[in-house]
Amino acid sequence: MAGKDRSLIAVIGDEDSVTGLLLAGVGHIDNKQRSNFLVVDAKTPVEKIEQTFADFTKRKDIAIILITQAVADDIRPMIDDHSEAFPTVLEIPSKDHPYDPAKDSVLKRIQRLFGEA
Amino acid sequence: MSGAGPRLAVFPTRMALTAMKNRLKGAQTGHSLLKRKSEALTRRFREIVKKIDEAKRKMGKVMQVASFSYAEVKYSTGDIGYQVRESAKSAQLKVRAKTENVSGVQLPAFDMFIDGQNAFELTGLGRGGQQVQKCKDTYAKACEVLVELASLQTAFVILDEVIKVTNRRVNAIEHVIIPRIENTIRWITSELDEQDREEFFRLKKVQNKKKVVRDENDRAREAVEGWATADTAPVNLLGQYDVDDDVIFR
């Protein structure tokens, strides 16, 4: 069931977060010149973020998508809709936005489940 | 009585009845097994949820540490962001997915591994090299935590689905399959009873008819034999000679 070829960690976030993670070594450019990261700044249009997110979810070689919470808020409906197991979407804090559990899609799902259970 | 209507379409025979009873037993065993499976999965699910909660908090802290170390780098070496982004070619930090079997469910677990040499030309950044290296390490550590979290999350999503499906099946068996089979059994028993009653009634009717016929025959026979008994007084053959006079004793 788990795609055996899924091995990459994708990143969508602000410049500092992306650079830091790239330093760690998650950055990858494949032979079609597609990268697995996107730096989002104040000038990036929301459609571009949505498009990249949709692309990442469709790709078969990405296992995890790291996205800073600030950017996640911009495309919140898309993230809420994403309910497949692969790739996993993980919300990470960034320098200016400490981690807020109230906004995390996954935690919201958990709360919904246990609110009913 | 809700659900009294629907039953399976079978012929009401004794064989069908035994078959239905076996089906019922099978359905009941299946139901209790599935229920147990659902409970085990739900227990596992709650464990995972707790772990996710902890891990998310840990991640928050680890990412903070990593951000600080990056700020240090920026301070001492200047913004290396552009260089780093441009030199990203082949990912060194990759994940491997392996599946674990948990009560019949394949749950994935991510395993981080380093693929390829640690070739980062940036380490030759003079004085900043050490800082950069340290920052790299903190971010690598952060990634470890993140990968762990991702494993938990995928397991969570998959388990969620499986639990829903199992519960649906449990409910289906409990509220649809078993009542249907029970209705069928009840109906077959009632049909068989009615057939027995019909048989019994038919038997009785036939017996009665036979009895009536027999009684008639008896009466008829008695009537015939009645004439015969009136004329059958024993005939005294010698008596007819008493009519003659005594020749000697006059």
Reported as a single tens digit per residue, the pLDDT across A37-64 is: 888 888 889 898 999 889 888 888 888 8
Residue A92 pairs in a beta bridge with A68
CA distance B128 to B117: 21
pLDDT at B126: 47
CB A76 within 8 A of CB A105: yes
Q: Which two tokens stand for residue A89?
A: 């979407």
| Token couple for B211 | 């009895």
ipTM of the complex: 0.82
User: Residue ranges of chain A with pLDDT lower than 50?
Assistant: 1-3, 117
Q: How far apart are CA B147 and CA A6, in angstroms?
A: 13
CA distance A116 to B55: 24
A109 or B235: which carries more pLDDT confidence? A109
* Cβ count near A97 (within 10 Å): 19
CB contact under 8 A, A29 and B90: yes
Residues of A in contact with B147 (CB under 8 A): 9, 64
Q: How many Å lie between the alpha carbon of A85 and the closest alpha carbon of chain B?
A: 5
CA distance A13 to A94: 8
Question: Comparing C-alpha atoms, which of A112, A97, A92 is closest to residue B58?
Answer: A92
Query: Are residues A68 and A91 in contact, defined by beta-carbon separation less than 8 angstroms?
Result: yes
Give the pLDDT band of residue B228 (cuts 50, 70, 90). low
| List of residues 6+ apart from A60 with CB closer than 8 A | A3, A5, A6
Chain A residues with beta carbon closer than 8 angstroms to that of B143: 9, 21, 24, 26
B85 vs B117, which has greater pLDDT? Answer: B85
pLDDT at B22 over 60: yes
> Residue B3: which pLDDT band, with cuts at 50, 70 and 90?
very low
Residues in chain A within 8 Å Cβ distance of B120: 23, 25
CB contact under 8 A, B142 and A104: no
Lowest-confidence region among A64-73, B10-19, B197-206, B231-240: B231-240
Six-digit token string for A8 = 């990459």
Mutate to test the interface with A, among B110, B115, B133, B145 (most CBs of A within 10 A): B110
